Amino acid sequence: MKEISELKLPEDLMYSDDHEWAKQTGDTVKIGITDYAQDQLGDIVFVEMPEVGETFAAGDEFGSLESVKAVSEAFIPLGGEVVAVNEDLEEAPELVNEDPYASWIVEIRPSDPEEHAKLMDREKYIQLLKG
């Protein structure tokens, strides 16, 4: 397991209590799991994703990640409609381990853009990890 100081936690992302990240790109938001989450899971062998067009409220389970150790649910940090899924992960789920920030899971059109501002910045997320 990585030490907190070894984790990659980009400054330009927002983070959730459930260890997902969110990146605003115009009127959509890409969502994935953090370096901490992928490190805790270990080698990811399957990523379950929702269908394009599905809608979720903030905090809803939107998929799961299966690793050699466990299955972990993924929770959407802000509500909205899924406009894209990262199809690369269907054939190569290990991409999440290689670079969890390039390997987003879903892209949504937020139903309430203000929810994005309620997520944690990098410093608050580090404080969460430190407990």
Q: The domain spanning residue 27 has which CATH number?
A: 2.40.50.100
13 within some domain:
no
Q: Is the pLDDT of residue 65 over 90?
A: yes
Placement of tokens 């459930």 in the chain: 18
84 within some domain:
yes
Placement of tokens 């790109």 in the chain: 25
User: Does this model's pTM top 0.75?
Assistant: yes
Q: How far is CA 68 from CA 15, 45, 55, 102, in A?
A: 25, 7, 29, 22
| Structure tokens, 17 | 């209590």
Mean pLDDT, range 63-80, rounded to an integer: 96
Q: Domain span at residue 86?
A: 20-130
Q: What is the pLDDT at residue 6?
A: 95
Q: Is the pLDDT of residue 54 over 90?
A: yes
Q: Is the pLDDT of residue 36 over 90?
A: yes
Other Cβ atoms less than 10 A from the Cβ of 119: the count is 20
| Structure tokens, 127 | 């404080």
28 within some domain:
yes
15 within some domain:
no
Q: What is the pLDDT at residue 39?
A: 96
6 within some domain:
no
Q: Is the pLDDT of residue 113 over 90?
A: no
Tally of structural domains, the chain: 1
88 within some domain:
yes
